[in-house]
């Protein structure tokens, strides 16, 4: 039988799983307007391709592109990292590759969160090999305490503490991506109590 959302999750209002709101919708919108403005200035008059790393970055990507005032294209990649729920093994795999070549193009990777840094490290390595004219990174959230490998990040929306966060694209077991804010998940949800 295909997997389904468990009944216990379906019957619980989404907000019940949230301990507290860490970044509300207004703060997200304000910071994304700033990021859009700086990205627009940086690439003014130049070619620009935004690459969204699925699935977590979908909501950030959708708002960011509307905060960017210059012409640009979008593409999507999906990766998965092996490891247990909270520990990354550092091994990253491509689930979906780009639709087109990035050779000679200005590429901006759009990530929802940098945690251990392994995903971004891997992406930068494989995309650099494809010969872009430039490669920059914008991440909505950064959890510096969790870093295992150093990564280059050009723009960060918010630096956050080591809390389990969901919402605004970020999930726990694929749920909570539709919350319009970044919230801290109650411990009983991820401990299964
Ligand atoms: C999350 C997030 C980043 C990555 C960051 O993706 O979207 O891509 O993990 O973690 P790292 O810095 O430790 O590598 P995830 O694999 O949870 O998939 P999702 O975006 O589909 O939820």
* Residue 85: per-residue pLDDT: 54
Highest mean pLDDT among 13-17, 77-81, 103-107, 187-191: 103-107
Give the pLDDT confidence of 107-146 residue by residue, as tens digits.
Answer: 999 999 999 999 999 999 999 999 999 999 999 999 999 9
The protein residue whose alpha carbon is closest to atom 22 in ligand 1 is 56
Given the CA of residue 146, which atom of ligand 1 is nearest to it? 13
* pLDDT above 70 as % of the chain: 95
Which protein residues are within 6 Å of ligand 1, measured from CB? 53-56, 80-81, 88, 111-120, 171
Given the CA of residue 122, which atom of ligand 1 is nearest to it? 14
Q: What is the mean pLDDT of the chain?
A: 94
> Is 115 one of the annotated active-site residues of the chain?
yes
* Residue 3: per-residue pLDDT: 80
Decide: 156 and 170 in contact? Cβ < 8 Å.
no
Given the CA of residue 151, which atom of ligand 1 is nearest to it? 12
Q: Could you tell me the pTM of the whole model? A: 0.94
* Residue 158: per-residue pLDDT: 98
Q: Which residues make Cβ contacts (< 8 Å) with residue 69, sequence separation at least 6? A: 36, 37, 40
DSSP codes of every residue in 76-103: EEEEEEEEETTEEEEEEEEEE--SS--T
Tell me what the mean pLDDT of segment 30-38 comes to.
98
User: What confidence tier does 75 reach under pLDDT thresholds 50, 70, 90?
Assistant: very high
How do strand 49-54 and strand 73-84 relate by DSSP bridges?
A: parallel
Helix (H, G, I), strand (E, B) or coil at 146: helix
Tell me what the mean pLDDT of segment 21-47 comes to.
98
Tell me what the mean pLDDT of segment 161-168 comes to.
97
* Residue 169: per-residue pLDDT: 98
CA of 105 to the centre of ligand 1 (A): 25
Q: Which of 115, 163, 171, 188 is catalytic?
A: 115
Spans of all domains in the chain: 24-163
CA of 158 to the centre of ligand 1 (A): 16
Q: Which fold has domain 24-163?
A: Rossmann fold (3.40.50)
Tell me what the mean pLDDT of segment 148-174 comes to.
96
The protein residue whose alpha carbon is closest to atom 20 in ligand 1 is 56
Q: Which of 52, 55, 56, 162 for mutating ligand 1's site (highest number of atoms within 8 Å of CB)?
A: 56
């Amino acid at each position: 039988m295909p997997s389904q959302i468990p009944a216990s999750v379906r019957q619980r209002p989404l907000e019940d799983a949230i301990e507290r709101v860490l970044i509300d919708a207004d703060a997200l919108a304000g910071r994304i307007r700033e990021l859009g403005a700086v990205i627009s200035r940086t690439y003014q008059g130049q070619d620009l391709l935004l690459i969204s790393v699925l699935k977590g970055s979908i909501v950030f990507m959708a708002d960011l592109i509307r905060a960017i005032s210059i012409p640009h294209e979008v593409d999507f990649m999906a990766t998965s990292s092996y490891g247990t729920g909270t520990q990354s093994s550092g091994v990253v795999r491509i689930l979906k590759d780009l639709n087109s070549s990035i050779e000679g193009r200005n590429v901006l990777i759009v990530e929802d969160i940098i945690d251990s840094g392994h995903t971004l490290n891997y992406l930068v390595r494989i995309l650099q090999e494809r010969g872009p004219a430039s490669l920059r990174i914008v991440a909505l959230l950064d959890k510096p305490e969790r870093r295992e490998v150093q990564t280059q990040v050009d723009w960060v929306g918010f630096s956050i503490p080591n809390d389990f966060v969901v919402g605004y694209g970020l999930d726990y077991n694929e749920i909570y991506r539709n919350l319009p804010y970044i919230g801290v998940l109650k411990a009983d949800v991820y401990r299964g109590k």
